[in-house]
Amino acid sequence: MVMSSRILVVLALLLLGNAAGPAAAQDGDIYQALRGRMVHVQLKARGISDPKVLAAMNRVPRQRFVPERLAPLAYEDHPLPIGSGQTISQPYIVALMTEWAQLKPGDKVLEVGTGSGYQAAVLAELTDKVWTIDIRPELVVKAADTLKTLGYSRVQVKSGDGYLGWPEAAPFDAILVTAAATRVPPVLEQQLREGGRLVIPLGPEGGVQTLTRFRKAQGKIQEEKTVPVSFVPLVEPEKRK
Ligand code: SAH
């Protein structure tokens, strides 16, 4: 079996940590090192350039948002399972979606698809007005707990159908959908403020999707840019039984 160099680095860092002293005391340093490397190799090198986004990605402890046994792999260049058949996106995609949202402090942002809560935590590093919703209550309970434990207590989390947005908190300066939709949910378009950004993976279930950024201008959303991606599906009305 050929081990990738990235996995070898992870193993070496973990072994080093164990050799150097109590695991708990070393934990922070090891993950900080892995995180710094991820920011450099996966984000900066691929064109993520907003210093605030890079700083946010360098602060949020991604290992706390994945199942404990997968923590050593938290900074690897791929998505990871988080239970209920769902996944936390690859770090690069989280950073890209965050950069595309163009958040300023005080902006209101809605995330559809809380999952582990990681993307919400990254958003919370950029603005203190974050709402996040997920259709799977068991993930919401866990994510809310993780966010609170890590001090992201201002993030509003609820379980419900994000296809319908969060009417009480609308309009939003940015909406991020972190599950693939076959089309833009009309309500989300309505809940976007003029000038607001909507970032959403669009495409057929199981096929290649296109991460797309729209901006609302004169009451209508206009496509601005795209990149091919692969997300778990958004639960949409026509897919429900
Ligand atoms: N952003 C997450 C990962 C999202 S995975 C993170 O940082 O960890 C996609 C999530 O979208 C899943 O948790 C899934 O339950 C949720 N989802 C799917 N359909 C949904 C819908 N209609 N409304 C809200 N959430 C939905």
Least confident of 39-53, 67-81, 221-235: 221-235
Q: Which atom of ligand 1 is nearest to the CA of 82?
A: 8
Residue 28: the pLDDT is 74
The count of structural domains within the chain is: 2
Mutate to test the pocket of ligand 1, among 119, 135, 155, 240 (most ligand atoms within 8 A of CB): 135
Active site residue 153: no
| Phi/psi-derived region of residue 167, left when phi > 0, alpha when psi is between -120 and 50, beta in every other case | alpha
State which residues form the domain around 32. 5-76
Same domain? For 173 and 231 the reply is: yes
The last residue of one of the domains, among 24, 49, 76, is: 76
Same domain? For 43 and 89 the reply is: no
Mutate to test the pocket of ligand 1, among 63, 112, 188 (most ligand atoms within 8 A of CB): 112
Q: Which residue's alpha carbon is nearest to atom 23 within ligand 1?
A: 162
Highest mean predicted confidence (pLDDT) among 29-33, 109-113, 202-206 = 109-113
Residue 25: the pLDDT is 41
Least confident of 16-30, 40-54, 158-172, 211-225: 16-30
Same domain? For 148 and 68 the reply is: no
Question: Whole-angstrom Cα distance, residue 20 to residue 18?
Answer: 5
Higher-pLDDT residue of 107 and 17 is 107
Same domain? For 72 and 118 the reply is: no
pLDDT, tens digit (0-9, with 9 covering 90-100), for 94-107: 999 999 999 999 99
Residue 51: the pLDDT is 98
**Model-level pTM?**
0.90
Per DSSP, 234 falls in state: P
Asked if 178 contacts 136 with a C-beta cutoff of 8 angstroms, the reply is no
CA dihedral sign of residues 125, 131, 134, 140: positive
pLDDT, tens digit (0-9, with 9 covering 90-100), for 150-194: 999 999 999 999 999 999 999 999 999 999 999 999 999 999 999
How would residue 27 be classed by pLDDT, with cut points 50, 70 and 90?
low
What is the 141 CA–ligand 1 centroid distance (Å)? 13
Could you tell me which residues come within 8 angstroms of residue 64 by beta carbon, excluding any fewer than 6 positions away?
71, 146, 149, 150
